[in-house]
A and B are shown apart, each in its own frame.
Chain A
């Protein structure tokens, strides 16, 4: 039998299937529409304008130097908005429509709040590894005070474990050519800032209240939102950049290394520092003070990549010339620390003798209270009213009050992150409720056990002034250790 299809049979099949198809369609059978195969969190069920506790996410621009986000990991939980708005006072505090910038102070509190790890610091681990492997480069690393009491957490240690010396050992094993202590340059900052404060108190009263400027998140916030207070900011660079500038000048000269062959790396509890190092104002003689910033979390990744376990690594000491530190430099990592350290040295500058015991354990500026007030009586200067503020939303409220009623304080310390640097956006994530208190306690313990408690007692500081800077606020110190600020107000308003 031949199975040949006749013309008639073929037409019948085509017409028949056409009729069936049309019938199916006309009867309303159309299958499912495409899409709707996924999942969406509960707060997005129901009408879009229903009020919910948390929703949405913060805007992060592509060229943000501090943070980035992996959309695939984002679950739209809204925690970043909560941190940005209610803790840091950034989100929602500028008018819409936008001007020409997506507002971000780079604090990185959203990276801490993000439960799925979608928002992270913009990583520089590969850059630093490449620099270490490059034999033509002299790679210098400095470690911030707050990282010494938190890095251990990334290696399973108790919160608040002091791992400064182990970190130095680990960094040396990782191949860095020199390891310096940011606490040293914190002492240097205090020498400059305390001198500047005493100068302002006595001779430049229009620059009072004196606002601290070592926190890059706070500085950018001030430039964005309170440009009229920029002249009150201390012109001192942050300790990180004072160290960077000193390494590429004093240290380079001493070692006979060309500054362009030095790569400055810092280990910071902070993501805003990644923005800070890119600032055009922070270079001297066309040399960028700092090259790369690694957060505490990034350092843990780097060390693990190198197979270094902080638990077993041999302890080591900071390298000399820029390695000695006092208790005053160490407490920079906690809210109130800068103030306490500055007052210790301001007292010395005014009286010529070290402060009494109560100023060495100055409780009113310590602790987690949003705004702390204190006054210090310095013979010859009088009583100085001081406020200490941490968390930028707290700062916003405080500054709005100052704008309205003026300031009753002569010195105000601002730290962007709650708790100060120990609560920084680059710190290890933790769900331990009192983690910040534990880190702060560890910092004050280090201060207490230090032989020297005041920045001016640091012998390496004394010798660097003798050999290089002359005296605080000298011309050379102004060139290397002081900076200016950029009015960013019209980028948002």
Chain B
């Protein structure tokens, strides 16, 4: 399941971020933890935010920010306790607090700096958009998408949405010819189209190579290396034991002979 965000259709009502807080039981009273360049950023009680931009040609644009749910999530690959997993059925990158050890590798790994931390909890968890995985698995749209009245958010099959996005871009010359999220870090479930260049709207320019690719070549060999090393050590131990045993037997025999 994927979502297409048409930035030209957003009027900034923030119904999506309210729906997110309602559905996920987040704290409305929590003060914003991160404000960067005048923009409200995500935090542990804001899994999605709307950021306001005044563009170079004096237009007002609103950009929804949340986890993009990468096809090859770096956060999930960085997590050694499997607390972040990509759900095969829905495509959502889901966080399981019961498995989390709190190392925060995911926060470092994410190319978009999405995962946030509950800094003022006794037993803190990581916080990020779950793409309403429970709703997706029932066939419902994410809460934010269902609350959008202007059609700025549409959910559906990823391939179909990409096709639709390109159709929209082709039919209206105002759009920038770029579907953000189609190829970025290997592609994501969330896709954006816009009439203002993405760099102006605070979108990070990232490589098309999945983050996991950089370490895949050698990290993928780690299990084999570890198993091989264990086998090698086991063999060495066995050999040493045998040598010692043989030596002991020989010593015993020699002793017997002397006796």
A binds B: yes
Decide if A71 is an interface residue (CB 8 Å cutoff): yes
Q: Mark A55-78, 1 if CB is under 8 A from B, else 0.
A: 111111100000000011011101
Q: Which of A38-46, A431-439, A452-460, A472-480 lies on the face that meets chain B?
A: A38-46
CB distance from A391 to the nearest CB of B (A): 21
CB distance from B187 to the nearest CB of A (A): 22
**Complex A-B: 26 CB contacts under 8 Å:** A30-B98, A33-B130, A33-B133, A34-B24, A34-B126, A35-B23, A35-B47, A35-B132, A37-B24, A38-B21, A38-B25, A39-B22, A40-B143, A47-B141, A47-B146, A48-B142, A48-B155, A55-B146, A56-B148, A57-B14, A71-B18, A96-B8, A97-B59, A97-B195, A99-B59, A102-B60
CB distance from B195 to the nearest CB of A (A): 6
CA distance A457 to B249 in the complex (A): 133
The answer to whether A40 and B99 touch across the interface, beta carbons within 8 angstroms, is: no
Partner of A34, one of B23, B95, B145: B95
CA distance A100 to B96 in the complex (A): 42
The answer to whether A25 and B82 touch across the interface, beta carbons within 8 angstroms, is: yes
CA distance A36 to B115 in the complex (A): 17
CB distance from A113 to the nearest CB of B (A): 15
Residues in chain A near residue B139, CB distance under 8 A: 47
CA distance A32 to B133 in the complex (A): 11
The answer to whether A56 and B15 touch across the interface, beta carbons within 8 angstroms, is: yes
Query: Could you tell me which B residues sit within 8 Å of A by CB distance?
Result: 7-9, 11-15, 17-19, 21-26, 28-29, 47, 54, 58-62, 82, 85, 94-99, 125-127, 130, 132-135, 139-143, 145-150, 153-155, 174, 195
CB distance from B119 to the nearest CB of A (A): 16
Partner of B24, one of A36, A78, A81: A36
CB distance from A116 to the nearest CB of B (A): 12
Q: How many residues of A contact B (CB 8 A)?
A: 39
Most A CB contacts (10 A, CB to CB) among B19, B28, B141 go to B19
Majority secondary structure of chain B interface residues (helix, strand, loop or mixed): mixed
The answer to whether B99 and A34 touch across the interface, beta carbons within 8 angstroms, is: no
CB distance from A443 to the nearest CB of B (A): 36
Which residue of chain A has the shortest Cβ distance to B144 in the bound complex? A48
Residues in chain B near residue A59, CB distance under 8 A: 11-14
Decide if A49 is an interface residue (CB 8 Å cutoff): yes
CB distance from A474 to the nearest CB of B (A): 41
The answer to whether B148 and A48 touch across the interface, beta carbons within 8 angstroms, is: yes
CA distance A30 to B87 in the complex (A): 12
Partner of A30, one of B9, B14, B28, B96: B96
Decide if A101 is an interface residue (CB 8 Å cutoff): yes
Q: A38-B24, A99-B60 in contact; A45/B140 too (CB < 8 A)?
A: yes
The answer to whether A38 and B26 touch across the interface, beta carbons within 8 angstroms, is: yes
The answer to whether A31 and B155 touch across the interface, beta carbons within 8 angstroms, is: no
Most A CB contacts (10 A, CB to CB) among B18, B82, B132, B150 go to B18
Partner of B61, one of A33, A36, A97: A97
Decide if A98 is an interface residue (CB 8 Å cutoff): yes
Residues in chain A near residue B23, CB distance under 8 A: 35-36, 38-40
The answer to whether A96 and B11 touch across the interface, beta carbons within 8 angstroms, is: yes
Most B CB contacts (10 A, CB to CB) among A31, A34, A59, A101 go to A34
The answer to whether A48 and B140 touch across the interface, beta carbons within 8 angstroms, is: yes
Partner of A55, one of B24, B47, B147: B147
The answer to whether B99 and A46 touch across the interface, beta carbons within 8 angstroms, is: no
The answer to whether A98 and B59 touch across the interface, beta carbons within 8 angstroms, is: yes
CB distance from B9 to the nearest CB of A (A): 5
The answer to whether A36 and B134 touch across the interface, beta carbons within 8 angstroms, is: yes
The answer to whether A33 and B134 touch across the interface, beta carbons within 8 angstroms, is: yes
List 5 additional contacts besides A57-B14, A100-B59; criterion CB under 8 Å.
Answer: A31-B96, A31-B99, A34-B126, A34-B130, A40-B143
Residues in chain A near residue B25, CB distance under 8 A: 35-39
The answer to whether A46 and B59 touch across the interface, beta carbons within 8 angstroms, is: no
Residues in chain B near residue A58, CB distance under 8 A: 13
Which residue of chain A has the shortest Cβ distance to B155 in the bound complex? A48
Q: Mark A88-129, 1 if CB is under 8 A from B, else 0.
A: 000000001111111000000000000000000000000000
Q: A34-B97, A36-B23, A97-B195 in contact; A48/B145 too (CB < 8 A)?
A: yes
Q: A36-B24, A98-B61, A100-B58 in contact; A71/B99 too (CB < 8 A)?
A: no
Partner of B60, one of A45, A47, A71, A98: A98
CB distance from B196 to the nearest CB of A (A): 8
The answer to whether A44 and B143 touch across the interface, beta carbons within 8 angstroms, is: yes
Residues in chain A near residue B130, CB distance under 8 A: 33-36
